[in-house]
C-alpha cells in the first residue's frame, strides 16, 4: 500500500476503534498492511480494487487461548 493510503487507514482506525492503533507497511506486499495495537499484532488490512471500486478489508484471527 502507498504511504498515503496507510495514513488514511490509520486515521480511520484511530478515530473509530482505538487511538493507539498503528498500521505498518508489509515488506514485499503491495496490497496489504499490518495492524497493531501498541506493540501487539491484531491483523491485516487488505486493499481490494475490483471493478473500479476501491475498498479495504480487515482480517483478524482470534486464538481460543487468547479468550
What is the per-residue pLDDT across 28-60, written as a single tens digit (0 to 9) for each?
A: 888 999 999 989 999 999 999 988 899 999 999
Per DSSP, 6 falls in state H
Nearest-angstrom CA–CA distance, 61 and 51:
28
HSE-CB at 26 with a 13 A cutoff on CA atoms is 16
What is the per-residue pLDDT across 18-33, written as a single tens digit (0 to 9) for each?
A: 999 999 999 888 899 9
The dihedral region occupied by 51, where left means phi > 0, alpha psi between -120 and 50, and beta the remainder, is left
Rg (CA), the chain: 12
Amino acid at each position: 500500500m502507498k504511504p498515503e493510503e496507510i495514513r488514511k487507514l490509520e486515521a480511520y482506525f484511530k478515530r473509530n476503534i482505538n487511538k493507539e492503533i498503528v498500521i505498518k507497511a508489509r515488506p514485499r506486499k503491495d496490497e496489504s498492511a499490518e495492524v497493531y495495537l501498541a506493540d501487539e499484532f491484531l491483523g491485516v488490512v487488505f486493499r481490494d480494487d475490483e471493478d473500479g471500486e476501491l475498498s479495504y478489508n480487515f482480517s483478524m484471527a482470534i486464538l481460543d487461548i487468547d479468550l
